[in-house]
A and B are shown apart, each in its own frame.
Chain A
Amino acid sequence: MKIEVTMPKMSPEMRSGVLCAWLKGEGDRVRKGEALFEVETEKVVCQVEAERDGVLVRLLAEEGDDMPVGAVLAEMEAQP
């Protein structure tokens, strides 16, 4: 099943976030709870964890992109 990886809303005021690094690449297998990408917030860098086991199929945002909350950053093929 394909699922979308999106920019989380990490604070009540957050409108967008800068994706500062991908910690996994296309084709990588990821496990739920593993750090998937980093977002720069006002106070700290957040390592956002994968919410499902699966394979990262396609990255749709590049490092350095300022992405709105909810924007699709990648597609993942989730393991059933």
Chain B
Amino acid sequence: MSARPEWLKVRFNREAVDEVADLMAKFGLNTVCREANCPNRGECCARRTATFLILGGNCTRNCRFCNIACGAPEPVDPEEPERVARAAAELKLRHVVVTSVTRDDLPDGGAAHFARAICAIRERLPGATVEVLIPDFKGDRASLDAVMAARPDVLNHNVETVASLYAAVRPQARYARSLEVLRYCKAAAPDGLTKTGFMVGLGETEAQIAALLDDVRATGCDLLTIGQYLPPTPQHAPLARYVSPEEFERYRRMALERDFRYVASAPLARSSYRAQEAVEAARARP
């Protein structure tokens, strides 16, 4: 692969990263920021934001783009939702983002645990908005109902990539199922916001991106993030190419033409990057 382009440069503020890491350790919590080795950690920690990763550090799926360890699932910790709420309060978060590993081993996929986290955060931080970035729960409606019953402000579920790359990149997931998750959750709470994201640089074509944008928008999805795929290690799915900032801008316009309420499209845009801004911008729009 060609040398790393100039625009993939970030600031690293060690003090801020250590501070957030210490706080998470104190509460016995994981963040996706750390587990996925997110390049934005320096910046997000400096703004004292992070995305909680619940239900353990090991995932039951083996997606080819993701850095999170695939391994034996850990026992569900009933105290975890409360600790998330306490850590969020200590960080004085105004927008709390919670995600999880995929737990295909649990009958409800961990949906009730998500719901408990939402409720615990609401209790401790009544003024904060809550975003959950959920797995597909194998499309199980009872699981989605359980999450939606807790009324998250933003229901986020990433399609991750175009339909044709699912087999290579997300072998245990289904494109249509992820769309159905978004559609179902929007229908369940039309006043709530739904959000999705995908990566580019995996070998998708612009026509495939256009089709994805149509499919996702047809579910009623409000918010969208588009970012550069960066292989966590050489053993992960190979990088097809680096997409330039100009192309990201074109993708952003393609998405806005389809009337998404908010679109973040940039090399280092991530699903939870500046998530508070995203929800504020979406809500400010008439």
Contacts and interface: CB of A to CB of B under 8 A. Distances in A.
Interface of A: 8, 10-13, 33, 35, 38-49, 51
Interface string B49-80: 00000000000000000000000000000000
A63 to B, nearest CB: 15
A46 B35 contact: no
A58 B41 CA distance: 29
A13 B35 CA distance: 10
A10 B17 CA distance: 9
B139 interface: no
A13 B37 contact: yes
Contacts of B17: 8, 10
Contacts of A44: 4, 8-10, 39, 230, 268
Nearest to B41: A10
Among all A-B residue pairs, the 5 with the closest Cβ atoms:
A43-B230, A11-B37, A46-B12, A44-B39, A44-B8
Contacts of A40: 4
Interface string B31-51: 000110101011000000000
Contacts of B37: 10-13, 42-43
Interface residues of B, number: 21
A45 B42 CA distance: 12
A74 to B, nearest CB: 14
B205 interface: no
B8 A45 contact: yes
Contacts of B8: 43-45
A46 B34 contact: no
A11 B34 CA distance: 7
A47 B39 CA distance: 11
Nearest to B233: A42
Contacts of A42: 37, 230-233
Interface string B194-215: 0000000000000000000000
A47 B9 contact: yes
A32 B143 CA distance: 48
Nearest to B37: A11
A8 to B, nearest CB: 5
